[in-house]
Structure 1
Amino acid sequence: MIEILNPTDLLRAKDAGALVADILQTLKSRSTVGTNLLDINLWAHSMITEAGAQSCYVDYEPSFGRGPFGHYICTSVNDAVLHGLPYDYTLANGDLLTLDLAVSKGGVVADSAVSFIVGDVRPPESVAMINATERALSAGIAAAGPGARIGDISHAIGSVLSEAGYLINTEFGGHGVGSTMHQDPHVSNTGRPGRGYRLRPGLLLALEPWVMADTAKLVTDADGWTLRSATGCRTAHSEHTIAITNDGAEILTLPKQAQP
């Protein structure tokens, strides 16, 4: 299903996006050396509930997972890249943490992810990998607009990641959002320009470049959810929800300090 939102729904989408951005920034600031992943999950739960919003994760039960996710945020550390199930782990100096959050507010979903290094140890390879996903995300957003095609976004993202030297996994990528978290169209992180669905004003897309340092192969953790690099290498993931407008694309999950 592909949803095209009306102007009223788009206003709700902006509210949802602002909430997701605010929660992620707050959680990022609190995620320091010694923080437990389960505490991050509790903080997310509290902020979602206080805002009168609903988690898209706690009851999420897709075919690729093992039962309901049961938590309020994805916390992926180091070699974990997607669907990181929070568990009893204390963050260490130099850990690469990805927080991925999807929330429904007013009946509309926003989805975003941020990767960052905990503490003051900053391995250059990890910094470069995070920067590459952020540049790829910016390129994908720049390629989005009315009349463009999904393949244009995929090509823009994939070009940046490939030029940075990373292999690209196509099992998981970006997607449409709206009244539910995962909708068509699928947005692969590499592709051919001029192909696929033509973008229309009112379409919401969650774009999410992610890479692993030296592989494109994923393995599933024993928890049935967490996806890790097959080689144990580090990973990074950046994501924004955007709305296609008459003039281009508007980022709905941009943190306040990063807004123009």
Structure 2
Amino acid sequence: MKKYRGVFLKNEKEIGLLREANRIGAIILDVLGEHVRPGVKTIFFHELTMNLCKQFNVKPAFLGLYGFPYSLCCSVNEEIVHGFPSDRVLKEGDIVSFDVGVLYEGFYGDNARTFTVGTVSEKAQKLVDVTRESLMLGIEQARPGNNLNDVSRAIQEHAEAHGFGIVRRFVGHGIGRKLHEKPEVPNFVPHESAGLPLKAGMVIAIEPMVTEGSYEVDILDDNWTAVTKDRKLSAHFEHSIAITSDGPVILSLSD
């Protein structure tokens, strides 16, 4: 495995293993989404993820990582990321974000989606749609000849053009044999950064977290759950992608 400015460049075999890890994670997200409805306790999604990981013979990457106690992050409404599954019951009009990671043959998959619960407000639907669109626009810029700031700028400009905020406290990351590798992948353009030139062989997880109001964050008493400071809604989408000579390839797609 080669290194470029501290970033591990993956070869074809390694990208293949990362593709399979992410494919499995995407299938798990598909199944989770099928069970999103009013009346479901969010702890159900932890149990379902554990069972699906057993079926696919993979390990839930988040369980025990840095002390995190669940198999997935389950964040409802004002919760941005790292939310705990619990006895909280989903209600009509909620939005819920699932962040799922798996470990497959020594390589990690990492992807996230926000789902709507029943019929949601126009503002909530727009937030979810714009967050997903921001991710895809960022992915389009992840190609050799560009730099990391091109990815960040595409995400930030689209979200802010619609009046939404971009969370600064949490960013995307490289991914491979470790869940979190270099480089950090901000969803905004850091003023002090010239931007890392992108190179074929990089594999990164891009994950915009977009807020209805302020991008400022509070951490709850569980020392994990991040919520919007103004308690307005937040949405989260993530894909793991490989940067190739032909452009970006999304690894976290199900069949």
SS of the equivalent of 2:125 reads helix
Name the counterpart of 1:65: none
- After superposition, the C-alpha distances for 1:101-154 in whole angstroms (9 at most, x for unaligned) are 1111121111111012112x2210000001111111011010011232111101
SS of the equivalent of 2:210 reads strand
Name the counterpart of 2:79: 80
> How far apart are the structure 2 equivalents of 1:70 and 1:2?
29
Would you say 1:5 and 2:4 are equivalent positions? no
| Aligned amino acid, residue 176 of structure 1 | G
- Number of matched pairs: 249
> What is the TM-score normalised by the length of structure 1?
0.92
Q: Which runs of 5+ in 1 are unaligned?
A: 62-67
SS of the equivalent of 1:244 reads strand
| Aligned amino acid, residue 9 of structure 1 | E
Name the counterpart of 1:239: 238
- After superposition, the C-alpha distances for 1:236-259 in whole angstroms (9 at most, x for unaligned) are 111111011110000011243xxx
**Taking structure 1 as reference, are residues 86 and 101 closer, same or farther at Cα in structure 2, changes over 3 Å only?**
same
**Taking structure 1 as reference, are residues 192 and 79 closer, same or farther at Cα in structure 2, changes over 3 Å only?**
closer
Aligned match for 2:172, one of 151, 169, 174: 174
The alignment yields a C-alpha RMSD, in angstroms, of 1.5
| Aligned amino acid, residue 226 of structure 2 | L
**Taking structure 1 as reference, are residues 148 and 192 closer, same or farther at Cα in structure 2, changes over 3 Å only?**
farther
- After superposition, the C-alpha distances for 1:14-45 in whole angstroms (9 at most, x for unaligned) are 11111011000100101211111111101101
Superposition deviation, residue 192 in structure 1: 6.8
- After superposition, the C-alpha distances for 1:21-80 in whole angstroms (9 at most, x for unaligned) are 10001001012111111111011011112211112211111xxxxxx1111000000110
> How far apart are the structure 1 equivalents of 2:245 and 2:216?
38
How do residues 157-236 of structure 1 correspond to structure 2 at under 5 angstroms?
Answer: 157-191=155-189, 195-236=194-235
> How far apart are the structure 2 equivalents of 1:255 and 1:158?
27
* Structure 1 moving runs of 4+ over 6 Å: none
> How far apart are the structure 2 equivalents of 1:9 and 1:84?
31
> How far apart are the structure 1 equivalents of 2:185 and 2:251?
18
Would you say 1:126 and 2:150 are equivalent positions? no
How do residues 101-140 of structure 1 correspond to structure 2 at under 5 angstroms?
Answer: 101-119=100-118, 121-140=119-138
| Aligned amino acid, residue 217 of structure 2 | L
> What is the TM-score normalised by the length of structure 2?
0.94
- After superposition, the C-alpha distances for 1:175-234 in whole angstroms (9 at most, x for unaligned) are 111111111111111117993222222211110111111111110112111100111111
Q: Which runs of 5+ in 2 are unaligned?
A: 1-5
* 202-211 vs 165-174, greater mean Cα deviation: 165-174
Would you say 1:29 and 2:67 are equivalent positions? no
Identity in percent: 29
Name the counterpart of 1:249: 248
Superposition deviation, residue 2 in structure 1: 2.0
> How far apart are the structure 2 equivalents of 1:71 and 1:2?
29
Contact preservation (8 Å) 1:149, 1:197: yes
